[in-house]
């Protein structure tokens, strides 16, 4: 059996990640901060600008969890079979410019999608010194060719694209070398840099990290829904619908539903990040 189905419900704790202010800045650059105008996002791209305190993009939470090498293997499938399917994060306040974490994680489920499977990993990210919860995350991993094991298909939360025009549309153009820059924040999956592996996965060339698109979209939510204040950033959830190639332009459509927002990210009209929901943090 390729999937380690016995992992469902098992929990483990492990070291997360130690990061510096330079790591937070590198991540911000990796998701496009300051690319179009270097003066517009200085709190996230510099640490020593006059009268500007450094801040951290909330979606950096996806990089500071980790499993400290303690995570058991989900199975013995090839890396080329794996794609990021969905991601959600919940912030408990603004992230510090430097720090270290520990994590508590579990495999929540393996879902049987016919010929394919989805593994869902949930994590709580805590400050290593104080034990304070910084963030929570849920990651869905799509594994090609590993379904058919007789498990549940899983349920899907209701979501519809609003019939009205978006309240806001934010566009960001990615750089041709965006994946090479983003990978320096820690995701070294060669699918995003190695043409050979990209070809094995069925792509003409390396694709952009799904979490890089997630980070670009998170910037749009931060600046539009939160007035650029990371303290107000609450829960962001989305499904990865189709690949993005470095150099393409992202269009983030945002609908303000009052207490929550819905969003979709597209490339030339093709949905790449779907079923997006966002809520601001209450104090």
- Report, as residue numbers or ranges, the catalytic residues: 187, 192
- The full length of the chain comes to 283
Residue 191, SS3 per DSSP: helix
Among residues 228, 243, 244, 238, the alpha carbon closest in space to that of 178 is found at 244
Helix, strand, coil: what percent of the chain each, to 5?
A: 20, 35, 40
Q: Counting runs of H as helices and runs of E as strands, what totals does the chain give?
A: 5, 10
Token pair, residue 277, equals: 């929901």
CA distance 68 to 63: 12
């Amino acid at each position: 059996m390729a999937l380690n189905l016995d992992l469902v419900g098992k929990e483990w704790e492990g070291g997360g990640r130690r990061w510096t202010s330079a790591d937070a800045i590198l991540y911000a650059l990796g998701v496009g901060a300051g690319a179009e105008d270097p003066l517009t996002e200085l709190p996230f791209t510099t640490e020593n600008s006059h009268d500007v305190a450094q801040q951290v993009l909330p979606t950096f939470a996806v990089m500071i969890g980790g499993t400290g090498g303690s995570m058991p293997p989900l199975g013995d499938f090839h890396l080329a079979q794996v794609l990021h399917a969905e991601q959600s994060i919940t912030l408990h306040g603004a992230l510090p410019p430097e720090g270290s974490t520990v994590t508590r994680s579990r495999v929540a489920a393996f879902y049987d999608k016919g010929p394919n499977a989805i593994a869902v990993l949930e994590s709580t990210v805590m400050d290593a010194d104080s034990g304070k919860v910084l963030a929570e995350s849920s990651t869905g991993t799509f594994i090609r060719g590993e379904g058919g094991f007789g498990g549940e298909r899983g349920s899907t939360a209701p979501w519809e694209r609003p019939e009205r025009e978006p309240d806001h549309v934010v566009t960001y153009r990615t750089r041709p070398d965006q994946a090479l820059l983003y990978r320096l924040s820690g995701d070294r999956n060669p699918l995003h840099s190695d043409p050979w592996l990209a070809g094995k996965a069925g792509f003409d060339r390396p694709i952009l990290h799904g979490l890089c698109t997630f980070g670009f979209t998170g910037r749009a939510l931060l600046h539009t829904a939160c007035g650029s204040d990371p303290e107000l950033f609450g829960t962001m959830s989305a499904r990865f619908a189709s690949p993005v190639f470095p150099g393409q332009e992202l269009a983030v459509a945002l609908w303000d539903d009052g207490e929550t927002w819905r969003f979709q990210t597209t490339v030339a009209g093709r949905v790449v990040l779907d079923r997006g929901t966002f809520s601001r943090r209450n104090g």
